[in-house]
């Protein structure tokens, strides 16, 4: 806090001194601005122009999905169509910037859709209204009519990255556990969906209890824990063929909490032997294993750094669950969590600079983030039970599972911006838990 | 303390490795605990038949409870387990699977490991009382299979448990 | 590029996709919505279409190409006759200069002081309704404290209510909360402290020349200050310092310099429009934008340029620059309010946007 006050003082002094110094010198007037506003950027997405007969509905739907994606980030606010002064009736006509400025749309997305012979073409442009210029260049996507949502997500990803300078995350999928039935007889099956909850498909039958699926970095395989053999064992599933196999292991020994290394060749996971749970690594092709931890405590929930050189995991070696970082080859681990309470399920961010975790403190659960050295801890959520964060492919958003309290309690997925804003539920057909966000496609 | 935990691990290791054919449990496990009534009458298999799994479950007591985050056995738990030992000695043609569970206040992977610890401490106790490790196996369900579903300590206390499930094992 | 490759690649792609996905989900109803999206730049597409006008040729590649591969090839890549077909490369003619049409065509009479409030207000109504988080958070501490789980959402979604606050915003605390991001986890603790907010007032610049202007605007810039009590203290101290320092510095070096409140007015007008995405990489970038002004206080848009930047990669820097540029252009209304007789002092400006104190902590 002291540091904080100091920062404040410095900042304010700067703010004060800046103008003062400006007074004293020649040349341009110098002004320093240190405070801005945090608010969504207003933008407009008029319905896309239908360039072929019958493309009308698609053109509207695509524009709506683009708007839902952008508005859903919390970083943008759509100026409602009723407020629009200009209509865009032709993709090629000049944009009347004044009309969009007048309604304070800072960005404008114009687009057109044509549909012919089972092929849909979506074109779009992004405009910086106040500068009166185009952001980037016009682009188009083509595909089958079934793929219209993906095309819309791709358009939104482009708009997002042109405005924010960072890659998007809309054209991505999430693998998760779909839950149904009461708490004491809950059926669980693996499922995959678009990031926004659309297009849910089931990957397992629900006969066997399954837990905690994890996407590989390329999104082609999923690791998960299944009770198919009667006790928890790590399985790997090819998303394309929906074929799965159990990873080799000792009979009668529990293995769980798997996660891929960034290269997709190695898997880290936990094995329980007697009272002791340790972290192991397996070469997925050869089945060769190697023990990475050996403390007589519970070591689990390992997650690689994006460069594959380190692993963050949880351990109760100190008496309560805390977060530790060790080299990917095992060896000396250093504790990084230091606050009150218990820390678990650490996940390294794709940007590499942060670790998301679950924290239990004073009877509440939180999703939080910290620097990889444990500093700058920030809690983003609070509820009866939040757990299992997963990062969007651009490292901007965290999805997690929230279970409600009581006999009727159910689990559902939520997402939150890493700034702690824009907490919202991800709609799924049934209950849902254990999300794992796949790559941008 | 250290020594004892090492011994514990060692024993657990032995216990696990003694289980050379893990599959037998998976394939042959029959939920004999539900057998009550199937046989009709009072005789074999019913809860009044001391040799039945139903008797084990209801009269001997098939479960022990744990404190928050703990896997240590209290006096009450030991008493229950002593009864289990007696029964297993008498009915040596049965095997047992010990299921470990946790309450919902914890993250999934940790609770799996914690349930494993609990089941393991029951298994170790049974082994220490002379039940061959080859007749025992354990599995953890973490927080996945609560028996009580409220979100109060009254329910949590019952969910933090290890349950000994009797299964007909091929006598080896 | 080579149509043949597209077709062949496409055809293979389809085969593979079909092999992979055909009928896998036999037991499960929904079909995998496989990525049959190919990405072709408009220009490429035109180029492709040109030689072979029949749709079939074009159709296949699209359907087949695995979506990821050809992604984002932008128009420039296609050499042939790309831009010819491009519908609107230069649609600007209708609106040649961005700056002028900012708002209604009221000529901005250079008479400065009295009008101060007018331009600001006229321009505000539009941006104001934005769903700022703050206005809601401050007035309702109670529910937040209890119902932590849902509050955040309510706050975010309740933009409508804010509209009514619009007028009060200048004078009251609410909008201050804007920059302070209160996470769900922090809410219970935060809520009470937020009400301490009024204490930041001591920080206000001297009641000097144009109290009106400073007051209305000063509230906005400070939002971060209400983070908690310490900060209030800090700002109070800083405020005192500020005043102390301000006096001596007033002595002009040459010509009639701008007064503090004049520069403050300018600064505050811009920062009100500076939208910072605190979670982004661009929030690490400090960027300095240089530009010229005309006598009416309007920015000469064509002179806007980035004169320096630090703290981020090229993409983050560009984003930071764009945000700064938008702030400068968007908030000028009919021209920034600056004393015309001192035009020489402000005809050229270097404005530094430093988000350091706003970054998420």
Highest mean predicted confidence (pLDDT) among A11-20, A318-327, B35-44, C124-133: A318-327
Out of C64, C93, C122, a domain closes at C93
Lowest-pLDDT choice from A170-184, A312-326, C39-53: C39-53
Instruction: Give yes or no for residue C305 having a pLDDT over 60.
Output: yes
For chain C, the straight-line distance linking the first and the last C-alpha, in angstroms and rounded, comes to 49
DSSP string covering C267-322: HHHHHTT-B--TTSGGGG-EEEEEEEE-TTS-EEEEEEEEEEEESS-HHHHHHHHH
Residues in chain A: 441
- Between C33, C45, C278, which is nearest A149 by CB? C33
Q: Using CB atoms, which chains have 3+ pairs under 8 A with A? A: B, C
Mean pLDDT over each residue of chain C, to the nearest integer: 55
Quick check: A150 and C67 CB within 8 A?
A: yes
Residue C4's pLDDT band, with cuts at 50, 70 and 90, is: low
Asked, for residue C222, whether it belongs to a domain, the answer is: no
Does the beta carbon of A211 lie under 8 angstroms from any beta carbon of chain C? no
Nearest CA-CA partner of A269 in A296, A238, A243, A290: A290
Whether pLDDT at C27 is above 60: no
Identify the band that residue C279 occupies on the pLDDT scale cut at 50, 70 and 90. confident
Whole-number Å distance between alpha carbons of A282 and A238: 17
For chain A, positions 238-277, list CB contacts with chain C under 8 A.
Answer: 240-242
Q: Does C169 touch chain A (CB under 8 A)?
A: no
Residue C92, pLDDT above cutoff 50 = no
Q: Does A145 touch chain C (CB under 8 A)?
A: no
- φ/ψ region of A132 (left if φ > 0, alpha if ψ in -120 to 50, else beta) reads left
Any bridge partners for residue A277, and if so which?
A272, A298
8 Å CB contact of B107 and A252: no
Please give the residue range of the domain that contains residue C65.
3-93
* Alpha-carbon distance C296 to nearest alpha carbon in chain A (angstroms): 16
For residue B160, pLDDT beyond 80: yes
Residue of A11, A14, A22, A31 for testing the chain C interface, max C β-carbons within 10 Å: A31
- Specify the DSSP element, H or E, that contains C217: helix C211-218
A41-164 falls under which CATH superfamily?
A: TolB, N-terminal domain (3.40.50.10070)
Chain C partners within 8 Å of A33 (Cβ): 267, 270-271, 274, 327, 351-354
Output the CATH code of domain B2-19+31-168. Answer: 3.30.1330.60
Instruction: Please tell me which of the candidates B15, B149, B151 has its beta carbon nearest to residue A184.
Output: B149
Contact C233 A5 (CB under 8 A): yes
B15 to chain A: nearest residue by CA?
Answer: A274
Residue B79 has what pLDDT?
A: 97
Q: How far is CA C272 from the centre of its chain?
A: 10
Looking up tokens 């005043």, which residue turns up?
A: C243
Any residues with CB less than 8 A from the CB of A35 and at least 6 apart, and which?
A15, C179, C220, C221, C222, C223, C224, C271, C274, C357, C358
Provide the pLDDT for residue C187: 62
The domain that holds C297 is classified in CATH as: 3.30.1150
- pLDDT grade for B43, boundaries at 50, 70 and 90: low
Question: Among residues of chain C, what percentage have pLDDT more than 70?
Answer: 30
Domain end marker among C66, C93, C120: C93
Model confidence over B51-108: pLDDT tens digits? 899 999 999 999 999 999 999 999 999 999 999 999 999 999 999 999 999 999 999 9
Q: Which CATH superfamily is domain A175-440 in?
A: TolB, C-terminal domain (2.120.10.30)
Are the Cβ atoms of A28 and C63 closer than 8 angstroms?
no
Task: Choose the weakest-confidence range: A99-108, B18-27, C11-20, C333-342.
Answer: B18-27
Establish if C11 touches chain A: CB-CB under 8 angstroms.
Answer: no
Q: Considering only CB atoms, which chain A residues are within 8 Å of C135?
A: none
Alpha-carbon gap, residue A32 to C353, rounded angstroms: 6
pLDDT, average across residues A382-398 = 97
φ, ψ for residue C246, nearest 5 deg: -60, -45
Residues in C 36-95 with any Cβ partner in A closer than 8 A: 36-42, 45, 55-56, 58-59, 62-63, 67-68, 71-72, 74-76, 86-88, 90-95
| Mean pLDDT to the nearest integer, C71-88 | 33
Q: Which residues contact C63 (CB under 8 A, 6 or more apart)?
A: A118, A119, A143, A144, C10, C14, C36, C38
* Residue B162 in this model has a pLDDT that exceeds 70: yes
Which of C221 and A426 is assigned the larger pLDDT?
A: A426
Q: Assess A186–C contact: CB distance below 8 Å, yes or no.
A: no
Query: Does residue C25 belong to any structural domain of this protein?
Result: yes
Do residue A387 and residue B107 have CB atoms under 8 angstroms apart?
yes
Could you tell me the residue ranges of all domains in chain A? 1-36, 41-164, 175-440
Range from A162-176, B143-157, C133-147 carrying the lowest mean pLDDT: C133-147
Q: Which of C74, C93, C112 is the last residue of a domain?
A: C93
Instruction: Give A-chain residues touching C92 at CB under 8 angstroms.
Output: 94-95, 97, 132-133
Confidence of residue C256 (pLDDT cuts 50, 70, 90): confident
Q: What is the pLDDT of residue B168?
A: 82
Nearest to A275 among B8, B104, B141 (CB): B8
Model pLDDT, residue B108: 97
CA atoms within 13 A on the CB side of C312: 23
A315-346 pLDDT, tens digit per residue, is: 999 999 999 999 999 999 999 999 999 999 99
- Give the chain B residue whose CA is nearest to the CA of A411: B104
Interface of C with A in 218-247 (CB under 8 A): 220-225, 227, 230-231, 233-235, 237-239, 241-242, 245-246
Q: Is C19 on the interface with A (CB under 8 A)?
A: no
Chain C residues lying within 8 Å of A32, measured CB to CB: 267, 351-352, 354
Q: Among C42, C156, C267, select the one facing A140 at the smallest CB separation.
A: C42
Q: Is A278's pLDDT higher than 70? A: yes
Asked whether the beta carbons of residue A183 and residue B12 sit closer than 8 angstroms, the reply is: no
Higher per-residue pLDDT: C240 or B122 = B122
Q: With respect to residue C139, please indicate whether it lies within any of the assigned structural domains.
A: no
Bridge partner residues of A266 (DSSP):
A283
> C174-216: per-residue pLDDT in tens?
344 444 677 888 765 443 433 333 333 444 444 444 434 333 3
Mean pLDDT within C309-319: 92
Q: What's the pLDDT at C9?
A: 57
Asked whether the beta carbons of residue A29 and residue C102 sit closer than 8 angstroms, the reply is no
Dist. CA A169–CA A152, nearest whole Å? 12
Residue C8: the pLDDT is: 61
Q: What is the pTM of this model?
A: 0.73
Whether A317 contacts A343, CB under 8 Å: no
The two structure tokens encoding residue C240: 């005192």
pLDDT of residue B44: 73
A–C CB contacts, 8 A cutoff, strictly below: 398
| % of chain B with per-residue pLDDT over 70 | 73
Question: In angstroms, rounded to a whole number, what is the distance separating the alpha carbons of residues B159 and B143?
Answer: 8
Q: Do A406 and B151 touch (CB under 8 A)?
A: yes
* Whether B135 contacts B96, CB under 8 Å: yes
Note the pLDDT of residue C257.
86
What average pLDDT score do residues B144-153 get? 96
Q: How many domains would you assign to chain C?
A: 2
Q: What pLDDT, on the 0 to 100 scale, is given for residue A416?
A: 97
What is the residue-averaged pLDDT of chain A? 93
């Amino acid at each position: 806090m002291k540091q904080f006050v100091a920062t404040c003082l410095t900042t304010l002094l700067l703010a004060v001194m800046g103008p003062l110094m400006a007074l004293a010198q020649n040349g341009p007037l110098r002004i320093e601005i240190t405070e801005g506003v945090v608010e969504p950027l207003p933008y407009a997405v008029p319905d896309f122009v239908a360039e072929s007969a019958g493309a009308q509905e698609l053109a509207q739907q695509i524009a709506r999905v683009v708007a839902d994606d952008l508005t859903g980030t919390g970083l943008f606010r759509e100026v409602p169509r009723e407020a629009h002064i200009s209509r865009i009736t032709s993709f090629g006509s000049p944009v009347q910037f004044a009309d969009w400025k007048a309604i304070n749309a800072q960005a404008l997305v114009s687009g057109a859709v044509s549909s012919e012979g089972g092929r849909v073409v979506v074109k779009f442009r992004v405009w910086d209204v106040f500068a009166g210029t185009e952001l980037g260049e016009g682009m188009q996507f083509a595909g089958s009519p079934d793929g219209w949502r993906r095309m819309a997500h791709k358009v939104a990803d482009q708009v997002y990255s042109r405005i924010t300078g960072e890659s998007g995350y809309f054209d991505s999928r999430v693998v998760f556990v779909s839950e149904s039935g009461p708490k004491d007889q809950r059926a669980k099956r693996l499922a995959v969906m678009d990031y926004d909850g659309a297009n849910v498909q089931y990957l397992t039958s629900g006969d066997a209890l399954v837990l905690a699926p994890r996407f590989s970095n390329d999104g082609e395989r999923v690791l998960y824990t299944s009770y198919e053999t009667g006790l928890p064992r790590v399985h790997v599933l090819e998303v394309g063929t929906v074929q799965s196999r159990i990873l080799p292991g000792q009979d009668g020994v529990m293995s769980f909490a798997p996660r891929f290394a960034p290269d997709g060749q190695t898997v880290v996971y936990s094995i329980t032997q007697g009272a002791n749970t340790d972290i192991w690594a397996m070469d997925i092709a050869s089945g060769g294993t190697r023990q990475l931890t050996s403390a007589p405590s519970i070591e689990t929930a390992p997650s690689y750094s994006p460069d594959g050189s380190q692993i963050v995991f949880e351990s109760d070696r100190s008496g309560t669950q805390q977060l530790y970082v060790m080299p990917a080859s095992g060896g000396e681990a250093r504790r990084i969590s230091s606050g009150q309470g218990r820390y678990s399920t650490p996940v390294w961010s794709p940007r590499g600079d942060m670790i998301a975790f679950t924290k239990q403190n004073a009877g509440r659960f939180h999703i939080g983030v910290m620097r990889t050295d444990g500093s700058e801890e920030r809690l983003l959520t609070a509820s009866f039970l939040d757990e299992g964060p997963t990062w969007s492919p651009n490292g901007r958003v965290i999805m997690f599972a929230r279970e409600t309290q009581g006999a009727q309690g159910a689990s559902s997925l939520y997402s939150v911006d890493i700034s702690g804003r824009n907490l919202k539920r991800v709609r799924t057909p049934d209950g849902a838990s254990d999300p794992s966000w796949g790559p941008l496609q | 303390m250290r020594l004892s935990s090492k011994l514990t691990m060692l024993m657990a290791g032995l216990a696990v490795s003694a289980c050379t054919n893990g599959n037998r449990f998976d394939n042959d496990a029959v939920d004999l605990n539900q057998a009550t009534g199937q046989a009709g009458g009072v005789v074999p298999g019913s809860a009044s038949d001391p040799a039945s799994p139903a008797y084990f479950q209801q009269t001997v007591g098939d479960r022990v409870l744990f404190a928050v985050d703990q896997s240590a056995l209290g006096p009450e738990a030991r008493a229950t387990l002593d009864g289990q030992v007696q029964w297993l000695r008498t009915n040596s043609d049965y095997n047992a699977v010990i299921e470990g569970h946790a309450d919902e206040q914890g993250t999934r992977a940790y609770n799996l490991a914690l349930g494993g610890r609990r089941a393991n401490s029951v298994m170790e106790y049974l082994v220490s009382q002379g039940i061959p490790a080859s007749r025992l196996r354990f599995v953890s369900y973490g927080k996945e299979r609560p028996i009580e579903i409220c979100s109060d300590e009254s329910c949590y206390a019952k969910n933090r448990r290890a349950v000994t499930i009797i299964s007909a094992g091929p006598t080896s | 590029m080579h149509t043949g490759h597209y077709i062949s690649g496409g055809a293979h792609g389809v085969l593979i996709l079909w092999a992979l996905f055909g009928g896998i989900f036999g037991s499960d109803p929904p079909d995998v919505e496989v990525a049959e999206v190919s990405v072709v730049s408009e220009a490429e597409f035109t180029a492709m279409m040109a030689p072979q006008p029949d749709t079939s040729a074009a159709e296949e590649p699209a359907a087949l190409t695995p979506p990821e591969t050809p992604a984002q090839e932008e128009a420039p890549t296609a050499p042939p006759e790309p831009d010819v077909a491009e519908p609107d490369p230069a649609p600007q003619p209708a609106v040649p200069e961005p700056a002028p049409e900012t708002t209604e065509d009221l000529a901005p009479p250079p008479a400065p002081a009295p009008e101060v409030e007018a331009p600001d207000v006229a321009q505000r109504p539009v941006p104001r309704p934005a769903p700022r988080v703050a206005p809601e958070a401050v007035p309702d501490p109670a529910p937040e404290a209890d119902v932590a789980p849902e509050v955040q959402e309510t706050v975010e979604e309740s933009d409508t209510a804010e509209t009514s606050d619009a007028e009060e915003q200048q004078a009251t605390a609410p909008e201050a909360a804007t920059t302070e991001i209160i996470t769900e986890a922090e809410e219970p603790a935060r809520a009470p402290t937020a009400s301490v907010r009024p204490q930041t007032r001591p920080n206000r610049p001297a009641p000097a020349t144009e109290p009106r202007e400073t007051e209305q605007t000063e509230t906005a810039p400070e939002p971060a200050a209400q983070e908690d009590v310490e900060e209030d203290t800090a700002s109070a101290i800083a405020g005192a310092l500020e005043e102390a320092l301000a006096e001596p510095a007033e002595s002009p070096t040459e010509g009639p310099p701008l007064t503090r409140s004049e520069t403050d007015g300018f600064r505050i007008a811009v920062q009100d429009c500076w939208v910072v995405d605190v979670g982004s990489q661009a929030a690490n970038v400090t960027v300095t934008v240089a530009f010229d002004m005309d006598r009416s206080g309007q920015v000469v848009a064509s002179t806007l340029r980035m004169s320096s930047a630090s703290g981020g990669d090229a993409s983050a820097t560009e984003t930071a620059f764009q945000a700064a540029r938008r702030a400068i252009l968007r908030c000028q209304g009919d021209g920034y309010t600056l004393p015309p007789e001192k035009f020489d002092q402000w005809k050229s400006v270097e404005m530094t946007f430093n988000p350091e104190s706003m970054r998420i902590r």
